[in-house]
Amino acid sequence: MTSQSITQAVHAWKDAMIAFRRDLHAHPELPWEEIRTTQKVAQALDEIGISYRLTQPTGIIAEIKGGQPGKTVALRADMDALPVQELSTTLSYKSLTDGKMHACGHDAHTSMLLNAARALQENRAGLRGNVRLIFQPAEEIAEGAREMVRQGAVEGVDNVFGMHIWTTTASGKISCNVGSSFASADLLKVRFKGRGGHGSMPEACIDAAVVASSFVMNLQAIVARETSPLESAVVTIGRMEVGTRFNVIAENAVLDGTVRCFDVATRERLKAAIERYAHHTAGIYGATAEVEYTYGTLPVINEERSALLAQSVIRDAFGEEVLYAERPTTGGEDFSYFIENIPGCFALLGCGNKAKGTDWAHHHGCFNIDEDVMVHGAELYAQYAWRYLQQDDF
């Protein structure tokens, strides 16, 4: 069962949590620039009485020591904003910095985790173990989680839980599926080199524009004909830079793209296929190819027992009707690095409410959240940690 004292504590600090979120929203900071945000979180932890250490260059790892011996469960929230211009003209707490905005809900994640921390700290005497609090920078560029792990965020941790505000799910619904949740998100750069020349004499040239165009068209067969229809994969070329002038045949072409899938083995097969397609396409035309494949996030795969525990907590805390099975998304989430070698799971907290204008897509300039769901997010953080530490056989 859930802890009633935790529920009461979370609700008691609801207004303060929302005010903290609005302050962060008005002062967004980009990845690795979260200096003020880190300071605000540290100040709040000092007031609550929770010990912590600062990570470099930004971020915080804190620890709640339970009154009884036991395992350690980690709760993670990300803190960074995006280089997005806020488009709202009526929001009282809109971004005060042009070109920067909390357009993905990380301000809410941080505030919810602080509320959960306060509730757990007030009830620490009954905790059978410890709760690690991870306030992570630089999620939006998929660097923060790896750096936090490198700086010891999950040392001695037995289980990790995180969540994300989700505008495509209705307010009042929460999802935490067993298995695939988020896809891996890798970066792709392909450089083709041909032989430039005058547009009136193509026979003397190797046209990089033709090579690049052929590659983009051929590339789709990797998903359509080399990937099982029972698997999911996305290969996208989002940018192509080729040519210099209307009557000059291009010598060079540079393409940028992304690769998404839900399985590490599929990921490696896609990478090998992309390299093969690039070199063979270039070879057909007498050009050369160089492929730069950068691993981004791992896929987020919710461990079965952890996800089932989260589902049980959701039912007990909020009711059976709240639990919702959200389809996996091909978006990326660097929470994956926290659960690379440790069991854990990642939930989605619905906040889509058309009447409140909170159904805009993530990363849009009109993005906002239904603040009424924040109390559920804070309680889910705290109740998951409480329940996990009560399990003798987990």
As a whole number of angstroms, the distance between CA 67 and CA 383 comes to 17
The stretches in the chain having pLDDT less than 50 are none
How does strand 300-302 pair with strand 179-182? antiparallel
- Name the token pair of 76: 């993670």
Is the separation of the CB atoms in 371 and 109 below 8 Å? no
- Which range of residues forms the domain containing residue 143? 4-182+299-390
Both 322 and 273 in a single domain? no
| Nearest partner of 3 among 336, 266, 342, 379, judged by Cα | 379
Please tell me whether residues 272 and 168 are part of one structural domain. Answer: no
pTM comes to 0.91
Instruction: Supply the CATH number for residue 205's domain.
Output: 3.30.70.360
315, burial (CB in 10 Å: exposed 0-12, middle 13-18, buried 19+): middle
Q: 87 with 188, same domain?
A: no
- Hey, is 11 helix, strand or coil? helix
Report d(CA 70, CA 203) in Å as an integer.
75
Task: Give the relative orientation of helices 374-390 and 4-12 as an angle to the nearest 10 degrees.
Answer: 150
Task: Give me the amino acid identity at 100.
Answer: K
Query: What is the number of domains present in the chain?
Result: 2
Extended strands (E) in the chain: 51-54, 60-65, 68-78, 128-136, 159-170, 174-175, 179-182, 184-193, 197-198, 233-242, 248-249, 252-261, 288-297, 300-302, 344-352
Neighbour count for residue 110 (Cβ, 10 Å): 28
Whether residues 277 and 317 fall in one domain: no
Of 276, 296, 316, the residue that ends a domain is 296
- Among 296, 327, 358, the domain-final residue is 296
Quick one: 197 and 279 in the same domain? Answer: yes
CATH of the domain at 72: 3.40.630.10
Count the helix, strand and coil residues of the chain and give each as a percent rounded to the nearest 5.
Answer: 40, 30, 35
Q: What is the pLDDT of residue 18?
A: 98
Task: Give the pairing type, strands 68-78 and 159-170.
Answer: parallel
Residues in binding site: 104, 106, 140, 164, 363
Judgement on whether residues 123 and 43 belong to the same structural domain of the protein: yes
- Please measure the distance between the N-terminal and C-terminal CA atoms of the chain and give it in whole angstroms: 16
Write the DSSP string, 258-316.
EEEES-HHHHHHHHHHHHHHHHHHHHHHT-EEEEEEEEEEPPEEE-HHHHHHHHHHHHH
Clarify whether residues 94 and 163 are in a common domain: yes
Instruction: Return binding residues for Mn(2+).
Output: 104, 106, 140, 164, 363
pLDDT at residue 230, rounded to an integer: 87
Q: Are residues 220 and 317 in the same domain?
A: no
Which of 278, 296, 314 represents a domain boundary (last residue)?
296
Instruction: Kindly state whether residues 141 and 191 are assigned to the same domain.
Output: no
DSSP state at residue 326 = P
Judge if 283 and 320 occupy the same domain: no
Domain identity same for 33 and 80: yes
CA–CA distance, 123 with 67 (Å, rounded to integer): 9
Could you report the per-residue pLDDT of 231-262, keeping only the tens digit for each? 889 999 999 999 999 999 999 999 999 999 99
191 and 239 together in one domain: yes
